Chains A and B, each alone.
Chain A
């Protein structure tokens, strides 16, 4: 069978099963499977961070910690939320170029920036939390060990995240290569 023999079948394929109301729902964020999940994650993380920032002064003796540790924690906490927002907007509108290859090139550029922002903001937020809770403590060998363990875990998680970003970027670079041969 030749490819041209498939033209008829191809042009007949596909149904018209979606009505106007169903299609309208799909134009809304609430009808988008991935955006709905990201929005829920964003709301939960923002909610938890807000509760934390409102209560940490009393619950975790924030007033007794140095001012710089408080500022660092708030700034990097907000940066972490900003990173979630950036991801949300990327998913919201991911097709931008005049051609398919242009769009993929644009997507790679955004993903590269977002990967750096995501990994850096996560590391900084993690470090600011560790710093906040460790300032003012009297360290002994055990506490140093726990601190080292926390830093190593944070770095390992960040490395894993960096590798996932790298895989995504490589996937799209390979796709462009498939087009250009």
Chain B
């Protein structure tokens, strides 16, 4: 069972990276969250029923874990130090800088909006997003309209 699980996680680990990218600022915090998500996935795996796609199940657990860890609000830091902490710790390519910009834009949303928008960007339908989160399909539509407007302001 462990081998199958590890193969699936290895194959789909980008999902965890993406969730970590929008819920955590620094590389260290992302690494901690990545480990926490893999641990929680492994703990939940025995109860996984193949009724839903593995990646859908993975998304639900990853988003849940990212939000279920209570973190005290960080004290505002010097801007330069803050930028260094975000971008300087690992060797970045131009691709990851683009990624970082994407994550940074999405991090300006609140935690609930981040969950909804990440599922939307992953191409889940409103019905599927509603099922994963536990809200109605119609309400997902309402929230998506608000998020789109909010992101338009952020991105412009």
Residue numbers of A with Cβ under 8 A of B are 1-3, 6-7, 9-11, 13-20, 23-24, 26-27, 31-35, 92-95, 97-104, 107, 168, 171-172, 175, 178-181
| A179 contacts B68, C-beta separation under 8 Å | no
Extra inter-chain contacts (7) besides given A3-B151, A13-B99, A101-B134, CB under 8 Å: A9-B98, A15-B17, A16-B13, A26-B34, A33-B36, A99-B60, A101-B133
| A95 contacts B39, C-beta separation under 8 Å | no
Main secondary structure of the interface of B (DSSP, over half): helix
| A3 contacts B68, C-beta separation under 8 Å | no
| A14 contacts B40, C-beta separation under 8 Å | no
| B121 contacts A20, C-beta separation under 8 Å | no
CB proximity of B73 to chain A, nearest CB, Å: 10
- Asked whether A7 and B152 contact (CB < 8 A) given A100-B64, A104-B67, the answer is no
Residues of A within 8 A of B80 (CB): none
Residue numbers of B with Cβ under 8 A of A are 2, 5-7, 9-10, 13-18, 21, 32, 34-36, 38-40, 42-44, 60-61, 63-65, 67-70, 96, 98-99, 102-103, 110-113, 115, 117-118, 120-123, 131-135, 139, 142-143, 147-148, 151-152, 155-156
| A7 contacts B10, C-beta separation under 8 Å | no
Task: Report the nearest B residue to A18, measured CB to CB.
Answer: B13
Task: Pick the residue among A9, A13, A95, A181 that contacts B68 (CB under 8 A).
Answer: A95
- Asked whether A10 and B122 contact (CB < 8 A) given A95-B44, A102-B134, A181-B139, the answer is yes
Residue of A7, A16, A20, A26 with most partner-chain B CB within 10 A: A26
- Asked whether A26 and B35 contact (CB < 8 A) given A2-B152, A10-B18, A178-B112, the answer is yes
Task: Report the nearest B residue to A21, measured CB to CB.
Answer: B6
Q: List 21 A-B contacts (CB under 8 A).
A: A1-B152, A3-B117, A3-B151, A3-B152, A7-B121, A9-B98, A10-B102, A24-B2, A24-B6, A27-B38, A31-B39, A32-B36, A34-B36, A94-B40, A94-B64, A99-B131, A100-B63, A100-B67, A103-B64, A175-B112, A178-B113
